Amino acid sequence: MFGCDWFGFGPGGGYMHNGFMGGGLMGGGIFGMFINILIIALIAYLIFKLVQNLGGSTGNRGKSSRDSVQILRERYARGDIDEDEYLKRKEILEG
C-alpha cells in the first residue's frame, strides 16, 4: 500500500491499487491524486468564502462609507472644513 508504486510505477501497478483509491470513482495514478487535491482545495475555498460572508466583512463596506460621509457632513456643518475641502473629500468617499 505505501510502497514504491504510489505514482503508478513498480510492481503494485498503480496508486494504492487495491486500497481505498483502487480504480474507484476518482481513478488512480497521479491524475486521481490531483483530482482529490483539487476537490479538497475547492471545499476549503468554499468554506473560507462562507465564513467570510457570514462574518460581515463585505456588508460593512457600504456602511462605513456612509458613516464617513455623515462624519464629513458634521465636520462641514461645524465649520471644521470649508466647502472646497468638503466637496473634494465627499467625491473621494462616494467615488
What is the rounded distance in angstroms from the CA atom of residue 7 to the CA atom of residue 21? 12
Q: For every one of its 95 residues, what pLDDT tens digit does the chain have, with 9 covering 90 and above?
A: 455 545 555 555 554 555 555 555 555 688 888 999 999 999 999 999 998 888 754 455 556 656 888 999 999 999 999 999 999 999 998 87
Tell me what pLDDT residue 30 has: 87
- CA–CA separation, 3 and 69 (whole Å): 65
Q: What pLDDT shows up at residue 11?
A: 53
**Which residue, 65, 64, 68, is CA-closest to 86?**
68
Provide the 10 A C-beta neighbour count for residue 85: 13
Most distant CA atoms of the chain, gap in Å: 84
- What is the value of pTM for the model shown? 0.36
pLDDT at 80: 93
- 22 CB burial (10 A radius; 0-12, 13-18, 19+): middle
